[in-house]
Amino acid sequence: MVTEIFKVDKDSLDILNKAAELLRTGELVAIPTETVYGLGANAFDKNACLNIFKAKGRPGDNPLIVHIANPLDAEQIAYTNPLYYKLADKLMPGPLTVILPKREVIPAEVTAGLDSVAIRCPAHPVANKLIEMAGIPIAAPSANSSGKPSPTTASHVFDDMEGKIPLILDGGECDVGVESTVIKITENEIVLLRPGAVTVEMLKDFCENVSIAGAVKEELKAGEKPLSPGMKYKHYAPAAELYLIDDKSVNFVEFTKEKQKAESCAVMCYDEELPLLENKNLLPVGKREDIKNQTKRLFILLRKADKMGVDTIYAHLPDDTGESLAIYNRMIRACAHKIIK
């Protein structure tokens, strides 16, 4: 199959029409969103959704997020509650996925047999317009091969999906850079299953009872069943061995300078550290305090490190609070919890 890429904005109606028609007829289309690129299919079409799992090599027990153009469209696919609408009013469209009890119309293949469905209303103008034009909800996981870092540019998608899907819509670099915040809600409780740009602190404005699922920060214990099936997989992994350095107890610059002499390694450092290190395979993540920029660059840098062909990558252990929790969660899983203290 030939994979076409087109640069688009929300007014590229000819191409968006073509994409909407492909989606309606059961084909897969890669779509830019504000978080990462998604691999979309008609959420009502079980065969189209099964093709997502095939194209990604995704385990069948890892459910898909269903994307809608308007928060009200959740009614068609799930049983909502007042807390959903409070969240929707302030945070949707946006980088927040809410898990609710599912209605019959959503095939079991989409939710991996679970009786709940994950719902998101993307803020990216291209994604939002396309879903509206297609007139159907769009099931879409991140558009990477399973286990690879999520794609944040159209060329990342092309690297993983060439020959497997007919169309990639190129909407430029994703704004956020990591996947959406995933929460499971009841009327009076929010459980965070995956951290993203919507933080725990923001969620506390909507509900007194906000908790963080264990697998967000910790390794799953043997035999433990996660609330979110995706949490049990090694994810976001670059080909090189990634180590995180806790700079509260280890001097990052001294440690990595030694490694630069001894190994074929890349170093993900803060901009401020650039002049202090050997100018060899450096991957600056941004300024120390600029968490938004670090988030945006995270997957770009992990993919870049792969292309460098190094054996090891060293990076700072991120904070596990506030906006930084999303980076922490991705990094500890990318490094399979290899932390140097």
Which residues form the interface with ligand AMP (CB under 6 A)?
62-65, 99, 111, 114, 116-118, 141-142, 179, 182, 193-194, 228-230
* Whether the Cβ atoms of residue 28 and residue 52 lie closer than 8 Å to each other: yes
Q: How far apart are CA 188 and CA 264, in angstroms?
A: 51
CA distances from 254 to 67, 111, 305, 331, 338 (A): 46, 47, 21, 21, 19
Closest distance of CB 142 from Mg ion, Å: 3
The count of residues interacting with Mg ion (CB under 5 A) is 2
Q: Side by side, which strands form the sheet with 116-120?
A: 4-7, 167-170, 29-31, 38-42, 138-139, 65-67, 116-120, 96-101, 181-186, 189-194, 210-212
Q: How far apart are CA 81 and CA 85, in angstroms?
A: 7
SS3 320: coil
Task: Assess 228 for contact with Mg ion (CB under 5 A).
Answer: no
Closest distance of CB 336 from ligand AMP, Å: 17
Strand partners, 339: 244
Nearer to Mg ion, 83 or 183 (CB): 183
Nearer to Mg ion, 80 or 142 (CB): 142
Closest distance of CB 198 from ligand AMP, Å: 14
List 51, 142, 256, 329, residue binding Mg ion (CB under 5 A): 142
Cα torsion angle, 108, 112, 113, 115, sign: negative
- Which of ligand AMP, Mg ion, none does 244 bind, CB closer than 5 to 8 A by kind? none
DSSP state of 282: B
Closest distance of CB 141 from Mg ion, Å: 5
Closest distance of CB 137 from ligand AMP, Å: 13
Closest distance of CB 15 from ligand AMP, Å: 24
- Which of Mg ion, ligand AMP, none does 145 bind, CB closer than 5 to 8 A by kind? none
By beta-carbon distance, which residue lies closest to Mg ion?
142
Torsions phi, psi for 237 (to 5 deg)? -90, 125
- Which of Mg ion, ligand AMP, none does 151 bind, CB closer than 5 to 8 A by kind? none
Closest distance of CB 63 from ligand AMP, Å: 4
Nearer to ligand AMP, 30 or 265 (CB): 30
- Which of ligand AMP, Mg ion, none does 99 bind, CB closer than 5 to 8 A by kind? ligand AMP
By beta-carbon distance, which residue lies closest to ligand AMP?
230
SS3 248: coil
Torsions phi, psi for 112 (to 5 deg)? 55, 40
Residues that bind Mg ion (CB under 5 A): 141-142
